[in-house]
Amino acid sequence: MPAPLGTISAGGGAAAGVAGLLRLRRGHAVASPLPASAGAGARCSAAAAVHDGGQLVWGRQLRPGLLLPAGLIPSRASKRLPLRPPAASAEPAGEAKSPGLLEKYPAITTGFFFFMWYFLNVIFNILNKKIYNYFPYPYFVSVIHLLVGVVYCLISWAVGLPKRAPINSTLLKLLFPVALCHALGHVTSNVSFATVAVSFAHTIKALEPFFNAAATQFVLGQTVPLSLWLSLAPVVLGVSMASLTELSFNWKGFINAMISNISFTYRSIYSKKAMTDMDSTNVYAYISIIALLVCIPPALIIEGPQLMQYGLNDAIAKVGLTKFVSDLFLVGLFYHLYNQLATNTLERVAPLTHAVGNVLKRVFVIGFSIVIFGNTITTQTGIGTCVAIAGVAIYSYIKAKIEEEKRAKSA
């Protein structure tokens, strides 16, 4: 069973918030203190050993005596241990453990992660839309998505896969804005999916890079290269073309998809500020718990009365209680697992590879949704969708190359 994790958006941007934390944590180095008698060169080499070895346990550094070379550890004449003969500790050459198939060919494992990421994402989007066809209550369904994920995380903590990381008020203050934006983006994404065709909702969500660039330039005050701005032109053009002739277009779906883009953009911003040594699995678990608590009140206020009067009864009358409950459970499980696989994949590949994979994932979702639901699209809508996806691909490629160049210069 894969470790619970998640990113964090109904359309696949979810892993973006946790992914931002992962990228920041990769550059975090901690140096170990040296005895005062050690020279400058020894101190530098020891600090490098700490950085390369990553000798951290939940953000706490191991004792310097476990990390320093033997020549730098102060000797104690009164406590000398006898040395073991070399032959006693050395393993016979013939008993060396040979690497397994997955260790020898890591591309197989990476390919499996990509396949499962795409597969779970497509299944989630299709099942999610089928539920909305007979149960059009996106606020309630959004709560179910998060609830199933939270239960999954709690069970995983209970069995120690992974071990639950401790949390305090300081970490809660850092994670709350991330979870709030996650909750808002998740709910508005589902409102859009319930209102318009899945293919059109994902086409609108292709504008998310544009909002990211705008927030980086005008909110964070960081200069966005001209090449990135130019690559966004086909994205805006393609979404505009698709929207003008989309047969399922309505303003409620369009506006909610745009709010989702803005929410996930601010989630990325707050994720960069909420840098923590906690692993991504636990980070996503805590974010899911907070987001669930945020989503429950509006779901009860907006859809609660309708659900109690006729919503639940109508859904059960249409498909039966067993199918209704199983559909809700499975869609929540697929939502959690595909976000988890997205972040696990990011941990295994370079940002450029992940960016290209994310674009291809959107293409798969749009294509399969058109085939499964038989959506009729106009020629202009089809061309606009292709232009928008191509623009996202160009933007992702340029952005990933810029990030790689920055890391190379800082290394």
371 against 345, higher pLDDT: 371
Q: Which of the four pLDDT bands, split at 50, 70 and 90, describes residue 36?
A: very low
The total of structural domains in the chain comes to 1
331 membership: H or E segment, kind and range: helix 321-348
Q: Residue 97 pLDDT more than 50?
A: yes
- pLDDT score, position 17: 57
Is 389 domain-assigned?
yes
Q: Residue 408 pLDDT more than 60?
A: yes
- pLDDT score, position 15: 56
Is 50 domain-assigned?
no
Q: Which of 16-30, 209-223, 341-355 has the lowest mean pLDDT?
A: 16-30
Is 357 domain-assigned?
yes
Q: Which of the four pLDDT bands, split at 50, 70 and 90, describes residue 14?
A: low
On whether the CB atoms of residues 72 and 38 are closer than 8 A, the answer is yes
Which residues neighbour 196 within 8 Å (Cβ) at sequence distance 6 or greater? 246, 248, 249, 250, 253, 254, 257
Q: Residue 47 pLDDT more than 50?
A: no
What Å distances lie between residue 220 and 84, 190, 214, 228, 411, CA to CA? 58, 28, 9, 16, 24
Q: Which long-range contacts (CB under 8 A, 24 or more apart) does 306-313 make?
A: 306/137, 307/137, 307/140, 311/135, 311/137, 311/140
User: For 116-123, what is the mean pLDDT?
Assistant: 89
Q: Which of the four pLDDT bands, split at 50, 70 and 90, describes residue 31?
A: very low
Is 94 domain-assigned?
no
Rounded CA-CA distance 250/240 in Å is 14
User: For 162-190, what is the mean pLDDT?
Assistant: 93
At 69, phi and psi to the nearest 5? -60, 155
Is 318 domain-assigned?
yes
User: For 77-92, what is the mean pLDDT?
Assistant: 47
CA 33 to chain CA centroid, nearest Å: 35
Q: Residue 90 pLDDT more than 50?
A: no
CA proximity to 150, closest of 301, 294, 297, 306: 294
On whether the CB atoms of residues 175 and 223 are closer than 8 A, the answer is no
Q: Residue 207 pLDDT more than 90?
A: no
The chain-wide mean pLDDT, for the chain, equals: 78
User: For 193-201, what is the mean pLDDT?
Assistant: 90
User: For 98-115, what is the mean pLDDT?
Assistant: 73
User: For 240-253, what is the mean pLDDT?
Assistant: 85
User: For 354-381, what is the mean pLDDT?
Assistant: 81
- CA-CA-CA-CA dihedral for 317, 321, 324, 329, to nearest 10: 170
With helix as H, strand as E and coil as C, how does 44-108 read?
HHHHHHHHHHCCEECCEECCHHHHCCHHHCCCCCCCCCCCCCHHHHCCCHHHCCCCCHHHHCHHH
Is 26 domain-assigned?
no
On whether the CB atoms of residues 180 and 350 are closer than 8 A, the answer is no
Q: Residue 291 pLDDT more than 90?
A: yes
Domain assignment of residue 309, given as a range: 106-405
On whether the CB atoms of residues 388 and 238 are closer than 8 A, the answer is yes
Q: Residue 325 pLDDT more than 70?
A: yes
Which residues neighbour 383 within 8 Å (Cβ) at sequence distance 6 or greater? 238, 241
Which residues, in sequence order, are bridge partners of residue 57? 60
User: For 356-378, what is the mean pLDDT?
Assistant: 81
Which residues neighbour 88 within 8 Å (Cβ) at sequence distance 6 or greater? none
State the pTM of this model. 0.70
Q: Which amino acid is at 7?
A: T
Percentage of the chain modeled with pLDDT above 90: 32
Is 34 domain-assigned?
no
CA proximity to 272, closest of 224, 211, 220: 220
> Count of CB atoms within 10 A of residue 161's CB?
13
Is 2 domain-assigned?
no
User: For 70-83, what is the mean pLDDT?
Assistant: 47
User: For 50-78, what is the mean pLDDT?
Assistant: 42
